[in-house]
Amino acid sequence: MRLLIAVAFVLSAAAQPLPPSRPKELQSLVDRIAVAPPELGADILLRLIESNAINDRAWKIELLDEGFQLATRARYPLPITPAVERASNTDSDIGSIWMALDQKLSGLTLQCRAVRAMLATDKKKAVDLFLGIPLPQAPGLSCKDPNGYDPTEYYVTLKEVTERGFDDRERREGKPFALLERAIRSMNSPFQVYPALELILDLRNLPRDQFAALVVAYSSGLKQLYTEDRAFSSSTGYALFQRLLRLAQICRERDISPHALIDAFHLLCQAHVRTALPGKR
């Protein structure tokens, strides 16, 4: 009996005319999303919004929220990158996955796309969605793993949210800065070291005290990282060293001591050596 009632309710709802702002062909496409893999369903919904095919504000919010929730079920939560150059060959499994996810189909990328689209529609809702994204947590890797992870999208979107998602009262209360500081201090993987550093460099025009606090938060985050060899080796290199030197230079220009930053990176490298070469000190 309950099933019959439910079917009758669905049929009666379907019989109601669609609002003029919800074209029948678009509604038909949206209705079929449920049968698609979650990452593809999320991508289709986001493409509809990004193409400006939907004008109904309430429907936009509804579909962006649905796309965000679908993204949480994506098979690959984080963008995957080749850990070594030869792994980028598309003849390899990891190379094929990397190329496929370059179409922006990882869970994190889809969630960030939903947040950025929501910023143009409902800023408060965009902030709420972003707060629903867990801090990037890269799985542990062994030396045999050919892949790495790239959480850059999280930090790029974090910057947009802090710049566009808060009103004047929330800014006076320090909410955007608190969100920045928390994310930077909470780094948990070497894969976050470079994108978090780029975020700080992009924010170099913050008031001196706030910029100094972000440098302290970054230094604190470096000290607490677990440095397995594969993650460390594939996420550090000459480009990172160059950007660290640039940050140290900016600190000196703004009369901020870079010593804590330098010491933290030194400790990170020491921890990596102890992990990679047991018995070495």
pLDDT in tens, 16-69: 444 556 888 888 888 888 888 999 999 999 999 999 988 899 999 999 999 999
> Distance between CA 240 and CA 129 in Å, rounded?
30
pLDDT value of position 149: 82
> Distance between CA 226 and CA 230 in Å, rounded?
11
pTM: 0.81
> Distance between CA 272 and CA 87 in Å, rounded?
23
> Distance between CA 226 and CA 209 in Å, rounded?
29
Q: Which of 13 and 280 is assigned the larger pLDDT?
A: 280
143-152, 164-173, 208-217, 254-263: which range is least confident on average?
143-152
135 and 188 Cβ atoms separated by less than 8 Å: yes
> Distance between CA 20 and CA 131 in Å, rounded?
34
The SS3 call for residue 277 is coil
> Distance between CA 183 and CA 221 in Å, rounded?
9
Q: What is the DSSP letter of 149?
A: E
CA angle 136, 112, 237 (to 5 degrees): 50
Model confidence at 100, pLDDT cuts 50, 70, 90, reads low
155 and 199 Cβ atoms separated by less than 8 Å: yes
For residue 17, what are its two tokens? 């005319």
**Mean pLDDT score of the chain:** 82
